[in-house]
Amino acid sequence: MIEQSLTLPCGHMVPNRLCKSAMTEGLANAHDRATTAHQRLYSTWARGGAAILMSGNIMIDRRYLERAGNVVVEDASGSSALRAWAQAVHEGGSQLWAQISHPGRQCPRLVSLTPLAPSEVQLHAVANFGRPRAAAEADIQDVIQRFANTAALVQEAGLHGVQVHSAHGYLLSQFLSGRTNLRQDQWGGTLANRARLLLEVVRAVRARVGPRYPISVKLNSSDFVKGGFTLDESVQVVQWLNDAGVDLLEVSGGTYEQLEFFKALPEGEVRDSTREREAMFLEYAKSIKAVAGMPIMVTGGFRTLAAMEAALTGGHTDMLGVARPFCLDPDFPKRMFTGQMDRLPVPEDKLVLGSGHWGPNSASNSMRTLNNLCQAAWYYRQIERMGAGQLPVSDLSPLQAMMVHLGKDYYRGFRRKLVAGV
């Protein structure tokens, strides 16, 4: 089934069931525009054969980024670079979709000391995030219009679809969560109020791009934190999204507080951990699939062809989202389709500092945080290598990758301030 095409409700067709799910790239220039590094990276992935390549966070407001190096699309100034990026993917045989996003409180201090959020609930993670200010009504209306504007601009630049990011603890996800949304107005309190911003954003995007352009939403099945967005709430939000003109719902989970997508277990438990990882969100997706009026895509943990096929043939998902294996084996889809491989690389099982002593079962939160940072940086470095026209390397030190990544992120942040005055 992986090689079968899928026609979305809007009439758009995707040639197979595999999507390279979003990963932040950090490759934008000092003016927050796409570069030739994006073209090199994504043309490499396009030649691999996945139907859809979902971009990393394309930000709707250059005042608030997920990290320095994000592409920002808030006007037409970067359209030619976007068009070249989309063309490179199209020539490689895939479709480029834009994941559009606002980080909310998950905006690092290097970008903004006072990020925008539903409420003044600070994210305490490696002292990297300032205390946010609660969005006023004018801010919320501005966010809605910015999502719609960015969607229209990427459509005009030739990207094949757009995804509204409402997962992983970013702004729309923060509004959905009772842990981060403490408001008592029409944007907070009940689930209907907390979901209002997401629904208004989707409606505004649809109004701008028209009925035939694909719109996806990325939604948490659960935040996996106490007081956060739950599976029951997710199921209800999906029912509301059924009437909002969504063509593809990506199901994921977790936030910066609980990184469900960075699971690692000590060496020697690889087989069991792979089996556990491949069921990461499927059980949750079954409940969502039962009420979804649109195709769904489950992202997170797929590492074997057997599990992928079982998820599709069992009717648990309509598309498969895979991300990190593309960083080590960018052409795996083509080889999987031709029967040359049936198991993807699982580098995260090797990326536990101290030969497993600092894994997620450690009693120390600081060690878990360090391990997650090292894992993330390891993938960032592979992305940077491919963006520079180099091959990924499997023996890269996670700790060294983290040190290089931190240095480059600080450089990108200061470069933005010096060159663009942001």
Per-residue pLDDT of the chain (422 residues; tens, 9 = 90+): 999 999 999 999 999 999 999 999 999 999 999 999 999 999 999 999 999 999 999 999 999 999 999 999 999 999 999 999 999 999 999 999 999 999 999 999 999 999 999 999 999 877 889 999 999 999 999 999 999 999 999 999 999 999 999 999 999 999 999 999 999 999 999 999 999 999 999 999 999 999 999 999 999 998 888 899 999 999 999 999 999 999 999 998 888 776 544 444 333 333 444 444 566 788 888 999 999 999 999 998 888 999 999 999 999 999 999 999 999 999 999 999 999 999 987 766 666 554 443 344 444 566 677 788 888 899 999 999 999 999 999 888 888 999 999 999 999 999 998 987 88
Supply angle C-alpha 142, 188, 190, rounded to 5. Answer: 140
Residue closest to 54 by CA, chosen among 235, 256, 299: 299
Residue 223 CB-density burial (10 A; 0-12 exposed, 13-18 middle, 19+ buried): buried
Return the pLDDT at 348. Answer: 64
- Can you give the pLDDT at residue 350? 60
> So what's the pLDDT on residue 371?
80
Spatial contact of 154 and 82, defined as CB atoms under 8 Å apart: yes
What span, in angstroms and rounded, lies between the C-alpha atoms of 220 and 357?
Answer: 30
How far is residue 99's CA from residue 23's CA, in Å, rounded to a whole number? 10
What single DSSP character describes residue 131? Answer: P
CA gap 358, 71 in Å, rounded: 33
**Boundaries of every domain in the chain:** 6-349
CB 234 within 8 Å of CB 285? no
Burial of 391 (0-12, 13-18, 19+ CB in 10 A): exposed
Structure token digits, residue 161: 């679809």
CB hemisphere CA count around 39 (13 angstroms): 14
pLDDT at position 277 is 55
Q: What is the DSSP secondary structure assignment for residue 130, as one 8-state letter?
A: P
pLDDT of residue 86: 98
CATH number, domain 6-349, options 3.20.20.70, 1.25.40.10, 3.90.400.10, 3.30.450.40? 3.20.20.70
Task: Give the pLDDT of residue 270.
Answer: 36
